Structure 1
Amino acid sequence: MGIVEGPPERSTEVFGDLLYSKRDSKHRAIKYLIAAIIPLPFAFRKEHRALPIIATSVFGAGALVNYLESQEKHDAAYSLKSQKPKPVKPKSETPKSPEQTTDGFVLQTSEEFMTDMISSIQQAKDRVWLEFMQFESGEIMSGLVDSLIAAKERGVDVRLHLDPYTLDHTRVGNRDVLRGAQIVRNQKEPQSGLDERTLLQRNRFMTRYDLDLLKKEGIVTFTERSGRLRLLKYFGGGNHRKFSVVDDVSWLGTINLTDGDVTGMENFMLRITNSQVVDVLKEIFANPQKENIAYQFLDFENSFELLIDSGKPNNSIIFEKSLEMIENAKEKIEFVTQYWPTGRLLKALKEKAKQGVEVEIVMEPMGDHRVWRYPFKIGRRSFLNSLERDPAGLKIYYADKPTHAKGLLVDGKAALFGSHNLYEPMVKAGVKEMSIYTEDPDLVTQMQERIFNHTK
């Protein structure tokens, strides 16, 4: 897979560093000013005035220098606004056009999706509706923010729904760090080459900056907390969906709105131009469902369902669909996950393996992702240790790079794909999810080639 080229209208690295540095200069100017004021009363005494006068003069000069420096950095940062944006293009292969696929569905990599969506937003005339779990400012995301604001200024209906998770966490590499937490290790982050603590501070600062821009334009809102996660503030708000509608085109899948999700890990989005499905997604965005719903499109040549979890604890039609698919498997089951199978799903997979069905599980590779950290590390280690004692016929593979993909493929004929990790603890918590089930041969083949074969 390639990487997204070219900085957008403002380079987040340069723009963010200048604004962050401007804030530091301003803070230093205030400190110097306070230091200059403290000895000032002593400068009016009849005796021993020289030292207070010198101190006031030196600190006053320091305050002035730092203030002028902060203004210079401010002007330099905003001068980037006048630069023309460079097009964002992926180096990866060009995806098939919707016309080449059955009913206008095409599976895109994260880079293809982001390029496609930003381009569509720049040409949008009616609506730009986005609903994602997480947003984190970055080189690519700053281009998205600028495109959203430009569309709003053209009179387009622009809305961005985010989960409160964005307010509580900051992305550092492939990890999410709680707001207010500090990084102890202080190592360099591989992708940016920056000291982790510096990267954490920059990301927090720029994310707040971009969210403030979006709030000012009336674009961003945060969804209500749901399920049991509403009681656990810093674990997110319970909205794990990732989908968007731009005029009459929709996407749904696995990506979050962060640079790391685009270039640092495997993610996939399904591009949809079928008017029936797009209309349903418009309705879901405008009027969020309070109950689980399975939309069945009966006039499709092959079975296709849009599955919506409303976020009720212990109630997931997507998870139940996965168990039904596993139960009906005859030859082979392929499962790609960021986590690992647990509970009823693991039991069902083991049972099928005993019956002679080939079961392959593709998992997150070892690295710096949260699944390799506590408390997730405990569950993952327990799962792998149990397989060492009794493999139960399950074949474990590790993705060749960090993966955020989520999918289940049965007998090469039926596929389940979307935001749901099929991780039972989240089912118990109650999380809003969106996935599709399909038996369309072309779409199943796309998923086979782009998700299952590509991640192993």
Structure 2
Amino acid sequence: METIWAIAWLSSWVIRLVLAPIVIVRQKSPPIALAWLAVVMVLPWIGLVLYLLVGEQSLGYGRARRYAAQAHLEITSKRPSAQAAWTIRPGIAERQRVMVHVAESLGGLPILGANSVDLEGSATRFIERLIADINAAKHHVHLLYFIFEDDEVGKLVGDALIRAHERGVVCRLLVDAAGSWSFLGTASSRLERAGVKVVAALPAGNLRRRLARIDLRNHRKLAVIDGAIAYAGSHNVIQPDYGMKEVGAWQDLSARIVGPTVGQLQAVFLEDWHFETGEWPNDEGLFPDPATTGESPLQIVPTGPGEPNAVVRDVMIEALHLARRRVVLTTPYFVPDESLLGAIRLAVARGVQVDLVIPRKSDKWLCDAAGRYFCSELAPLGVRVHFHQTGLLHAKVMTVDDDFAMLGSANFDIRSFFLNFELNLLIYDAQATAQLRFAQMTYIGQSIEIPAAYWRVQPWLQRFGQHAAKLLSPLL
């Protein structure tokens, strides 16, 4: 017995001495490094297992090689018409030009004008419109969703894909292996037998993925029909209540886009398809000449764990720096890092009104607890915190004054900033921004504003739990 304890004691110190330098060298963020060091020092065996599983942003050799290849993809090379007049940067205000330049420098795509943007906040209408566009498809349907559920909604969309394939339409469906595990385990074979091409994104149980981090997820929500229509935002393909009837309908926002930006969204889908399959679809008609009748300038910001910057976070920081009057943030999970917190503090100090709208209770209690801690830090400084009461607020929206907005799949948390593949839109259009702000004001109308004094009188145990969750925030 003494020998066993001696071996266990010695091996625990070997783990500490070997793993600690690796954490210090490879973790760029000091809070994340300190969190991992604490786990490794206190629980070395558990820390070793966790670090091997989720400690680094490793895509695995095969994935990393394909990611490097797609990183060099020039979207303009896919369309001979890419230098046509409609790709010329639209006339926008000075502050918007600064935002455009920063976003593109960080990894966003070039801004394109002449788009039509139609916002949809109803889950039912979103699915109805998506199915209608699939029913009208003539060439191809490309769907990429984090959650594609085997429920009534998933069956309706699946049936539409089968009908489209029977008409000769090429249908490709890419779903996240974790978010859509139920669909992949039961219903995907029905679509595959009917001719729909179904691929799981980032599967973890495959030997060929053995060197990949298992919790990196493709969190994007994207549909492209005939290269002419696209949907992007926060809706998944699932019943509005996500099977949680006690919570009620989830509140989401997505945009239906017609115009030049659809070609960029098509390229994002094709990159992800190549990322998982190694194939580059080359069907004719993938990049048709776009409609140019709209008036909305859009900029696409696709992000992923292989990038050197936290692009969504940095875009948010720059937007906060540019704000003059009011910023409204809407997100289901609010777990920022120190740099984003600092930008919010500075905006409030300049006299900018900052409203934060989050669910009273989300589906992730640990994120809720950590988010409450950050609210308790910001509310006394002047940030207006609103707890949404109706259903589960799942929309991810940032509006800045009346000038521009961000809408997409990324939550305002460390997971979306650093770990997930996400897809966001920057909208430089006053009318669309006003519509998004109206949706946010509707959410605020369904919320309770939490006064700053509330955070000072919380029970001690509640505050302790929030502080403890905050310590884990770099790992959430």
Q: TM-score, normalised by structure 2?
A: 0.58
Counterpart for residue 395 of structure 2 = 405
Distance in 2 of aligned mates of 1:212 and 1:455: 43
Q: Give the fraction of aligned pairs with identical amino acids, expressed as a percent.
A: 23
Q: Is the 8 A contact 2:139 2:170 kept in 1?
A: yes
Distance in 1 of aligned mates of 2:325 and 2:314: 20
Q: Does the C-alpha gap of structure 1 residues 447 and 167 become closer, same or farther in structure 2, counting only changes over 3 Å?
A: closer
1:165 corresponds to which of 178, 182, 205: 178
CA apart distance, 1:311: 2.9
Counterpart for residue 333 of structure 1 = 327
Counterpart for residue 223 of structure 2 = 244
CA apart distance, 1:303: 4.7
| Aligned pairs (5 A) from 1:195-274 | 204=182, 208-216=185-193, 217-224=195-202, 231-233=212-214, 235=215, 237-247=216-226, 248-260=228-240, 264-274=249-259
Aligned-pair RMSD on alpha carbons?
3.0
Q: Does the C-alpha gap of structure 1 residues 280 and 314 become closer, same or farther in structure 2, counting only changes over 3 Å?
A: closer
Residues 90-134 of structure 1: per-residue CA shift (max 9 Å, x gap): xxxxxxxxxxx9731110122222111101112211111000111
Distance in 1 of aligned mates of 2:296 and 2:261: 14
Q: Residue type of the partner of 1:252?
A: A
Distance in 1 of aligned mates of 2:210 and 2:441: 31
Describe the SS at the equivalent of 1:103: strand
Distance in 2 of aligned mates of 1:397 and 1:421: 17
Q: Does the C-alpha gap of structure 1 residues 232 and 378 become closer, same or farther in structure 2, counting only changes over 3 Å?
A: farther
Distance in 2 of aligned mates of 1:382 and 1:232: 29
Distance in 2 of aligned mates of 1:358 and 1:230: 46
Q: How many residue pairs align between the two structures?
A: 302
Q: Is the 8 A contact 1:238 1:311 kept in 2?
A: no
Counterpart for residue 362 of structure 1 = 357
Q: Does the C-alpha gap of structure 1 residues 282 and 423 become closer, same or farther in structure 2, counting only changes over 3 Å?
A: same
1:383 corresponds to which of 374, 378, 383: 374
Distance in 2 of aligned mates of 1:260 and 1:207: 20
Q: Residue type of the partner of 1:125?
A: K
Distance in 2 of aligned mates of 1:132 and 1:452: 27
Q: Residue type of the partner of 2:328?
A: E
Distance in 1 of aligned mates of 2:269 and 2:415: 26
CA apart distance, 1:164: 1.1
Q: Is the 8 A contact 2:325 2:352 kept in 1?
A: yes
Distance in 2 of aligned mates of 1:330 and 1:207: 47
Q: Residue type of the partner of 1:120?
A: D
Distance in 2 of aligned mates of 1:303 and 1:151: 31
Describe the SS at the equivalent of 1:415: strand
Counterpart for residue 6 of structure 1 = none
Describe the SS at the equivalent of 2:433: helix
Q: Is the 8 A contact 1:230 1:238 kept in 2?
A: no
CA apart distance, 1:301: 6.4
Q: Does the C-alpha gap of structure 1 residues 272 and 164 become closer, same or farther in structure 2, counting only changes over 3 Å?
A: same
Describe the SS at the equivalent of 2:119: strand
Q: Residue type of the partner of 1:221?
A: V
CA apart distance, 1:152: 1.2
Q: Is the 8 A contact 1:261 1:267 kept in 2?
A: no
CA apart distance, 1:386: 3.6
1:392 corresponds to which of 356, 370, 381: 381
Residues 275-328 of structure 1: per-residue CA shift (max 9 Å, x gap): x111222222123498xxxxxx9x996653111113326623222111111011
Counterpart for residue 92 of structure 1 = none
Distance in 2 of aligned mates of 1:128 and 1:451: 31
Distance in 2 of aligned mates of 1:220 and 1:378: 37
CA apart distance, 1:145: 1.1
CA apart distance, 1:229: 12
Q: Is the 8 A contact 1:327 1:352 kept in 2?
A: yes
Q: Is the 8 A contact 1:415 1:439 kept in 2?
A: yes
Residues 349-390 of structure 1: per-residue CA shift (max 9 Å, x gap): 122112221110000123xx323x2x3244134224445xx6
CA apart distance, 1:342: 1.5
Q: Does the C-alpha gap of structure 1 residues 421 and 360 become closer, same or farther in structure 2, counting only changes over 3 Å?
A: same
Distance in 2 of aligned mates of 1:424 and 1:452: 26
Distance in 2 of aligned mates of 1:115 and 1:277: 23
Describe the SS at the equivalent of 1:437: strand
Describe the SS at the equivalent of 1:158: strand
Counterpart for residue 195 of structure 1 = none
Name stretches of at least 5 consecutive residues in structure 2 with no aligned partner: 1-112, 243-247, 276-289, 446-476
2:148 corresponds to which of 126, 135, 141: 135
CA apart distance, 1:423: 1.4
Distance in 2 of aligned mates of 1:425 and 1:144: 29
Q: Does the C-alpha gap of structure 1 residues 209 and 137 become closer, same or farther in structure 2, counting only changes over 3 Å?
A: same
Q: Residue type of the partner of 1:264?
A: A
Describe the SS at the equivalent of 2:115: helix
Counterpart for residue 154 of structure 1 = 167
Q: Is the 8 A contact 1:102 1:442 kept in 2?
A: no
Distance in 2 of aligned mates of 1:325 and 1:254: 20
Name stretches of at least 5 consecutive residues in structure 1 with no aligned partner: 1-100, 169-203, 291-296
Q: Residue type of the partner of 1:108?
A: E
**Runs of 4+ residues deviating >6 angstroms:** 299-302
Q: Does the C-alpha gap of structure 1 residues 455 and 269 become closer, same or farther in structure 2, counting only changes over 3 Å?
A: farther
| Aligned pairs (5 A) from 1:50-199 | 103-109=115-121, 110-168=123-181
Larger radius of gyration: 1
Counterpart for residue 42 of structure 1 = none
Q: Is the 8 A contact 2:120 2:254 kept in 1?
A: yes
| Aligned pairs (5 A) from 1:14-29 | none
